[in-house]
Amino acid sequence: MEETGAVAVKHPDMDRSAEDIRVKMVQLLPRLRRFAAALTGSVADGDDLVQDTVERALKNLHQWEPGTRLDNWMFRIAKNRFIDTRRSYKRSGVIAVDVPDDTPSVTGDGARAADARLMLADALDALQKLPSEQREALVLVTIEGLSYRDAADILQIPIGTLTSRIARAREALASLAPEG
């Protein structure tokens, strides 16, 4: 830190903003994991996708416009990486509902943890039955709680397209579940 001190003046803002961005990315990890698990169909594959996303985001950080939303930018990277790698997932038959043992559990309550795992497995399974375009749209709006505008922006599609994908995704899910 001090080694560049005397002749050159250390720019006080520089490392701090790099550090700020890393801190923001750590805070985004839980949401990215949720999104990636929902896309890939498993927590383990989702975590691989998150790692890939984080590394790409930092490597291409110059492409992010300061002042715009870092979370939406990273969701877009994750979605694009998922599309790029999807073919290899399918080829190797990795897409499966596989909730590993290290799935987060509820502290001190094994039974509830098992329930949560089952619910997550069911949800991942159901989402995998959707075409990925519908899944992406539904996950961003329903699970991430994003506005149609933000979701359409991340997916780079018109809002009208997003709206119809959401409607079709919900109909497909409704047809899977028995009328209650």
The site for other proteins (CB under 8 A) is made up of 2-15, 17-18, 21-22, 25-26, 29-31, 33-34, 37-38, 43, 47, 50-51, 54-55, 58-62, 64, 102-106, 113, 116-117, 119-120, 122-123, 126-127, 141-143, 145, 147-148, 163-164, 166-167, 170-171, 173-174, 177, 179-180
CB-nearer residue toward other proteins: 89 or 151: 151
Return the closest-CA partner of residue 83 out of 123, 37, 136, 130: 136
Q: How far is the CB of 26 from other proteins (least distance, A)?
A: 5
Minimum CB distance to other proteins smaller for 95 or for 97: 97
**Cβ atoms < 10 Å from Cβ of 175:** 9
In the complex, the smallest distance separating the C-beta of residue 83 from other proteins, rounded to whole angstroms, is 21
Q: Which is nearer to other proteins, 60 or 90 (CB)?
A: 60
Angle of helix 110-128 relative to helix 14-40, nearest 10 degrees, comes to: 80
Q: How far is the CB of 64 from other proteins (least distance, A)?
A: 8
Residue 100: burial class (beta carbons within 10 Å; 0-12, 13-18, 19+): exposed
- Between 74 and 89, CB nearer to other proteins: 74
Torsion of CA 29, 31, 32, 37, to 10 degrees: 120
> What's the sign of the alpha-carbon dihedral 88, 89, 90, 91?
positive
3-state secondary structure 52-83: HHHHHHHHCHHHCCCCCCHHHHHHHHHHHHHH
CB of 40 to other proteins, least distance (A): 13
Which CB, 69 or 90, lies closer to other proteins?
69
